[in-house]
Structure 1
Amino acid sequence: MKKLFPFLLLFITSFILFNCKEDDEVQVQVDYPAVYDLRNVNFSYNATDGWSYGQSFKKPLLDQDYVVIFRQTGTSGNAPVWQQIPRTLYLDQGELDYDFDFSKNDFMIYAGGTYDLSTTPQYLNNQTFRVVLVPAVYGKNATLEDLKKLSYEEIIAKYNIDESKIGTL
C-alpha cells in the first residue's frame, strides 16, 4: 500500500492540473437591480454645477461597475424610446447638452447649453431617465467607449441584464 500511495498522489495532482483552465468563466450573481428608472426628474440650478440632478445608490457599486444613463425621448407605440447620454440636442434656441458622471456611491446628471436653459423648462422638468449598471463581472469585456456605441437594447442583451427587475432609487 505504501508503494501505491506516491503513484496515487501523482495521479490526483496530474488530473487536477490538466483539467483546470485559467480562462474558465466564473458565474457571479449580481445582488442588486441593474436597471433603475428615474421618473419626474426636475433639474435644479446652482452656481457650481449649473443645471443638475443627483442621486445616491442604495448600496455602493463595485469598483469596476459601469454606469450608463439613457433619457426617454418619447414613445413608439407603447414602448419608450431611449437615447444614451451624453447627448447634444440642437434646438432653435441653441445647443442643449445632457451629460453625467458617477462614482461607486452616486451619480450626477447635468444639463448645459449655449443659451439660457430656463427658457426651455420642458427639457429640465418631468424628465425620465433609465440608469443601467453593467456589473463588474463584465468589466474585463466592457469599456466606456464600447458602451457608448451600444443602444439600450444592445447593452441589455450583451451583458445579460434582467430588465424585468427594474428598481427605483
Structure 2
Amino acid sequence: MKKIITLFAVVVGLFAFSSCTTTDDNFQEDFDTYPYAFEIKNVDLGRVADNEYNLRSTFQFEINDNLRDDETVLIYRLTSTINSNTPVWQLIPRTIYFNNGDLVDYFFDFSKVDFFITARANFNLLNRREYIDDQTFRIVLIPSDLAATMDTNNYLEVMNTLKLSENQVKKVKL
C-alpha cells in the first residue's frame, strides 16, 4: 500500500509540475502568469498633430506586477492579408517609404502600466487614412534572453517558440 501511495504522489507531482511550465533550452516561464500575446483590433489612432497620430492605452490585465525588467515587448502591425486565414504581421518600429519621398514611421514605447503606439509622417496623415484608421496590432510579451535567440521580425517564429496558437491570443477591446 505504501508503494502505491508513493507512486501516486510521484505521478501527481510530475503532472502538476509539467502542466504549468514550458521549457525551451534555458528558458522556463509560467505561461499562466499573464497573456503572452494579445490583439487590439480595428482601432483608430488619435491625432496629436497633422502628421502624428497615436494610440495610448493601459495594459488591461495584471502586467504591472508580472512584467519584469528583463521582459521584451514586441508590437506587430497587421499590414495585409494573403487570405482570410493568413494575416501579414510587421514588427514595429518600422518606416514605410513611398516612391515620391513620403514616409510613415511607426514606433512605440511602454512601461509596466501602459503603452503608446505612434504613427508619424512627413505629410498630413489625413490624406492617407489607411495608415491611422482601422489598425490592428498584436502585442507579444517575451523574456529578453529568449528574444535574443530568435528573429523577432518573424511573427510566426516568435509564436512557435512561445508555443502559442492563434486561439490563445487574447482579444482586447479599447
Structure with the bigger percentage of strand: 2
1:39 and 1:128 in contact (8 A); partners too: yes
Find the aligned partners of 2:27 and 2:103 in 1 and give their Cα distance. Answer: 45
Distance change >3 Å, CA 147–CA 45, structure 1 → 2? farther
- Identical positions, percent: 34
The equivalent residue for 2:154 is 151
Query: 1:11-22 alignment to 2 at 5 Å?
Result: none
Gaps of 5+ in 1: 1-23
2:44 to 28, 42, 52: 42
The equivalent residue for 1:82 is 89
After TM superposition, give the deviation of residue 105 of structure 1 in Å.
1.1
Select between 73-82 and 147-156 the one with higher mean Cα deviation.
147-156
RMSD: 2.5
Find the aligned partners of 2:44 and 2:170 in 1 and give their Cα distance. Answer: 19
The equivalent residue for 1:123 is 131
The equivalent residue for 1:99 is 107
1:35 and 1:163 in contact (8 A); partners too: no
Find the aligned partners of 1:121 and 1:56 in 2 and give their Cα distance. Answer: 24
Distance change >3 Å, CA 26–CA 44, structure 1 → 2? closer
For 2:93, the aligned partner's letter is P
The equivalent residue for 1:70 is 76
The equivalent residue for 1:3 is none
After TM superposition, give the deviation of residue 56 of structure 1 in Å.
0.9
For 1:71, the aligned partner's letter is R
After TM superposition, give the deviation of residue 141 of structure 1 in Å.
3.7
TM-score (normalizing by structure 2): 0.70
Distance change >3 Å, CA 147–CA 117, structure 1 → 2? farther
Larger Rg: 1
Find the aligned partners of 1:96 and 1:158 in 2 and give their Cα distance. Answer: 30
Find the aligned partners of 2:115 and 2:105 in 1 and give their Cα distance. Answer: 17
Find the aligned partners of 1:130 and 1:149 in 2 and give their Cα distance. Answer: 13
For 2:37, the aligned partner's letter is V
Gaps of 5+ in 2: 1-24
